[in-house]
Amino acid sequence: MANRPVFTISDTPPYYVEKIIEFKYYSGFAEVQKRKSIESLHQAYLKDNPNQKILEISSKSQEELGVKLSAFNLMIENKNGKRFSVESAFQASKVFENGGPYRELLDMTSREAKKYPKLKSSGKLKYFNFGDRIFDLIPITYFYNWLYINTLRLYPDLTNKLMEFDAFTDIVFNPDKSINCQARAAAVYVSLRKLNLLDKALLDKNTFLENVYGNTKNYKVDTLKQLSIWD
């Protein structure tokens, strides 16, 4: 048995609810094992929430929508026409004590960017630098959620389908080892849009911080846990 979170929508900040669900986990790296685990997790959640629709957001998802919404597959195009994944953008924005940002990651695949050796050998993470924007590490999900949710807005065909769901998972995400999660970010997106707050929150990075997180004095940062868990 294992425990994993399910993220559901909410009408109050931080615009998601995290529910820890116990389910049977199928170990192994094969795709079929991951999909068995996803099915097991979803069935365990739906047992007490039979009227909800739940979506796995990862490259392991049984749903095409969930695969397309994976940050490994979700693409950004900059003003110069350069295309790169959300995962690569996240990794390429990290600034450490002894290096970064490593812009060369924008030319790599998502998996290559995630495994780039300098990300592990450049000391503690200090902040994020995306374009001309600087993001503090507090709140610890601030930049991750801002980047993912802003990218979602570029794909109305996907997000219109996303709005049909109430709950979201990412089978790879383990809250004991990581912080950021695309399933959580998706729940925040759906909540903000249902409340007609999305456009206001995405005016700029400061309005996103104020509207989604409110009083940031209550947030602590652990630079050692600033890892990418998008998959």
Q: How many CB atoms lie under 10 A from the CB of residue 223?
A: 14
Residue 72 is assigned to a structural domain of this protein = yes
Residue 122 is assigned to a structural domain of this protein = yes
Per-residue pLDDT 10s for the chain (231 aa) are 999 999 999 999 999 999 999 999 998 878 899 999 999 999 999 999 999 999 999 999 999 999 999 999 999 998 888 999 999 999 999 999 999 999 999 999 999 999 999 999 999 999 999 988 999 999 999 999 999 999 999 999 999 999 999 999 999 999 998 999 999 999 999 999 999 999 999 999 999 999 999 855 444 443 333 333 222
Structure tokens at 37: 């685990």
The answer to whether residues 33 and 26 touch, using CB atoms and an 8 Å cutoff, is yes
Rounded to two decimals, what is the model's pTM? 0.90
CA–CA distance, 6 with 27 (Å, rounded to integer):
19
Residue 200 is assigned to a structural domain of this protein = yes
Q: Given this model, what pLDDT does residue 230 score?
A: 25
Domains: count for the chain: 1
Residue 23 is assigned to a structural domain of this protein = yes
Q: Given this model, what pLDDT does residue 30 score?
A: 85
- At a CB cut-off of 8 Å and minimum separation 6, what does 199 contact? none
Q: Given this model, what pLDDT does residue 28 score?
A: 84
Q: Given this model, what pLDDT does residue 75 score?
A: 97
CA–CA distance, 4 with 16 (Å, rounded to integer):
15
Q: How many CB atoms lie under 10 A from the CB of residue 62?
A: 13
Residue 215 is assigned to a structural domain of this protein = yes
Angle at Cα 213 formed by Cα 230 and Cα 56, nearest 5°? 30
Beta bridge partners of 23: 2
Bond prior to 117 in cis (omega within 30° of 0): no
Structure tokens at 230: 């998008």
Residue 169 is assigned to a structural domain of this protein = yes
Range of the domain at 22: 2-225
6 three-state secondary structure? strand
Strands (E), 152-195: 167-169
Residue 109 is assigned to a structural domain of this protein = yes
Residue 230 is assigned to a structural domain of this protein = no
